[in-house]
Structure 1
Amino acid sequence: MTHWIAALPMYNVTPQHGTLWRALLRDTLGEFARRAGVRERMTLLDEALGDLFALWRSPDLLMSQTCGFPYRLLGLDKQVHLLATPRFNAPGCEGAFYRSVLVVSAQAYANGATTLAACGGLRAACNSADSHSGMNALRHSVATTVAQSARGARFFASVSFVGSHLNALRALAANEADVAAIDCVTLAYVRDALPDMLESVREIGMTAAAPGLPLIASRTVPDAHAAMLRDALDHACTLDPLRAKTLRLQGFSRLAPADYAIIEQFAGEARAAGYAELA
């Protein structure tokens, strides 16, 4: 008997969001088991996960969510099924595509950092070096919107990797950093549930759009079961309208793996502009 594992770790911005995502996952797996007639054991992992790359690469993975950067640039697309991409009702989202919001601290804004070009020499906070929304999208924006003479070899005074978008917002609020790029869905969740976090943060623009964070399954999952998982996601989304509203979830799109090539394109355009590293 196969022992499948599943977890949705990417948008647990607050405990309430984590509970709702876990409930949606539970409903999805229940519907999948009914459709597939399977008796395999399915374990929902706790949202406080350790090594996400180990989870995403596990041959026992029935469902999880990853970021487009590891999916496309770190080889994950060769090891997993692309199941679906969520569609959100949030500023910056367009169907299954999303953007990052460029934000600065209120102090930096008052000192003139009202555009990305004006952020040269400031301190950047980034959730992680393998994030599209926090790193790749910001790097691409600097490479494509800031004049070469302003960018140079280093644009920011420093770049700190702080572990999460919430930590980046905290760093701005504490004047420990000046600028960051925040996933627009995460920012909408913060605006809904933690508005005080944004009192000393100002929005100055958005990055280019890219496909949203994909839901994935191991390639060991049969194709027929992957198709049933997609249908089960659609079913689970409709079960609880209030849950979907709180999660700003409108449904799931079925993109092709090739649609995520734009994330790799962003990295290539930054390299071509002489800005291969966020710095």
Structure 2
Amino acid sequence: MTGTRSAAAPVVGLASLPMYDLPELRWATDAWWQGLALHLREAGLRNLPEALSRPEPGRGAGGEADPVPLLRDPRLVIGQTCGYPLTHGLAGWVSYLGTPRYAAPGCKGSDYRSFVVLRADDPAETPAALRGRRAVINGWDSQSGMNALRALVAPHAQAGRFFAQVVTSGAHRRSLAMIREGRADLAAIDCVTLELLRRVDPAALEGLEARFETPAAPALPYVTRHGVKPGLLAALRAGIKAALADPELAEVRAALLLTGMDFDRAADYSVITEMERTAELLGYLALA
């Protein structure tokens, strides 16, 4: 033995983009990460992972994968989350990077919204007419599936109730299946998911209709671990900008409906907590 100690291996970062990672589009999500990683390296980042990390099945609502543990990982270089966890369960765990722009009906700039989806033969003509229906949500920490729906129906709630039942499915796609099968009557589905499903799995929407729209909010943000230095934030954003401008990635971006990103909207996510606060002032503390 020489008495010298070998240098510790560098810590490899973690990347996770689980929000619109439909099985039919995993090729595009993976290709987007490969292109993004290339531009991040050119922006000066090192020790990036070769592949994305995906949530473990069975840890979330309805047996679905839960992205939160990965997004709380101190190795996180880049991730994407729903806006409700950003302002709640991930507050203090992640830092904001940017707000994507998507080419989907219902999006405006980097805002998005949900549509309330019903069976096509449902006679409801107004949100108020949904009283007494069975709602299904993808999860209690979802802006698109829970908080936006609560904001829509809160003015019509009575004694803190509006629906006959609220159940969780674990995923927007599973919520749609439950409506088709008659196990639920409605769900709020974000407009990007709806457009992706129209393209890759139109059968998932067969017999259903997107009838009412919810208030808008900033789209699902890209994030990094909390407390990163300004120089790293700048490098991350430079890499993202370069990837968004790379013509070699145009097909991949189109498959994911990704058209750009705004980097100055961190404060705008307060609209999510404002929706929640307004519902509470109306006596509608929880979706019920």
TM-score, length basis structure 1: 0.91
Do the aligned residues in 2 keep the contact of 1:113 with 1:119 (CA within 8 Å)? yes
1:258 to partner: Cα distance: 1.4
Moved more, 181-190 or 198-207: 198-207
Query: Residue 266 and residue 53 in structure 1: after superposition, are their counterparts in 2 closer, same or farther (change >3 A)?
Result: same
2 CA distance for matches of 1:8 and 1:255? Answer: 20
Show the counterpart of 1:204: 211
Q: What runs of 5+ residues in structure 1 fail to find an aligned partner?
A: none
Task: Summarize deviations over 1:6-36 as a string: whole Å, max 9, x none.
Answer: 01000012x2322212211221122112221
* Equivalent residues of 1:105, 1:177 under 8 A apart: no
1:124 aligns with: 135
| CA deviations over 1:69-115 (Å, ceiling 9, x no partner) | 011123x23232211111011111011110001111234x1xx2232
Describe how 1:106-255 pairs up with structure 2 within 5 A: 106-107=120-121, 109=122, 112-144=123-155, 146=156, 148=157, 151-239=158-246, 240-255=249-264
Letter in 2 for 1:276: L
Question: Could you give the per-residue CA deviations for residues 139-172 of structure 1, whole angstroms, max 9, x where no partner exists?
Answer: 010013x3x5xx4432111011000000010011
Decide whether aligned partners of structure 1 residues 168 and 233 sit closer, same or farther in structure 2, where only a CA change above 3 A counts.
same
- 8 A contact 1:86–1:253 mirrored in 2: yes
1:12 aligns to 2:21 (yes or no): yes
Take 2:78 and 2:116, find their aligned partners in 1: how far apart are those partners?
31
CA distance in 2, matches of 1:134, 1:172: 14
Report which stretch shifted further, 187-196 or 214-223.
214-223
Q: Distance in 1 between matches of 2:68 and 2:36?
A: 23
Instruction: State the distance in 1 between where 2:49 and 2:257 align.
Output: 27
State the secondary structure of the residue aligned to 1:26. helix
Pairing 1:262–2:271 present: yes
Letter in 2 for 1:141: L
CA contact (8 A) 2:45 2:235 kept: no
- Check 1:221–1:25 CA distance in 2 against 1; reply closer, same or farther (3 A cut): farther
1:103 is aligned to 117
CA–CA separation in structure 1 for the residues paired with 2:45 and 2:182: 54
Distance (Å, rounded) in 1 between the aligned partners of 2:45 and 2:145: 40
Once residues 16 and 47 of structure 1 are traced to their aligned partners in structure 2, the CA distance between those partners, rounded to angstroms, is: 15
SS of 2:49's equivalent in the other structure is strand
How far did 1:270 drift? 0.6
Contact 2:116 2:211 in 1 (8 A): yes
Residue 45 (structure 1) shift? 3.4
SS at match of 1:81: strand
Letter of the 2:117 counterpart: V
Write the letter of the residue equivalent to 2:250. Answer: P
CA RMSD across the alignment: 1.6
**Residue-pair matches, total:** 269
Q: Does 1:31 find its partner at 2:46?
A: no
Report if the CA contact (8 A) 2:145-2:187 is conserved: yes
The answer to whether structure 1 residue 63 and structure 2 residue 70 are counterparts is no
**Displacement of 1:242:** 1.8
d(CA) in 1 for partners of 2:27 and 2:229? 29
Give the match for residue 77 of structure 1.
91
Deviation at 1:48, TM superposition (A): 4.5
Report percent identity of matched pairs.
36
Gaps of 5+ in 2: 1-9, 57-64
CA contact (8 A) 1:3 1:43 kept: no
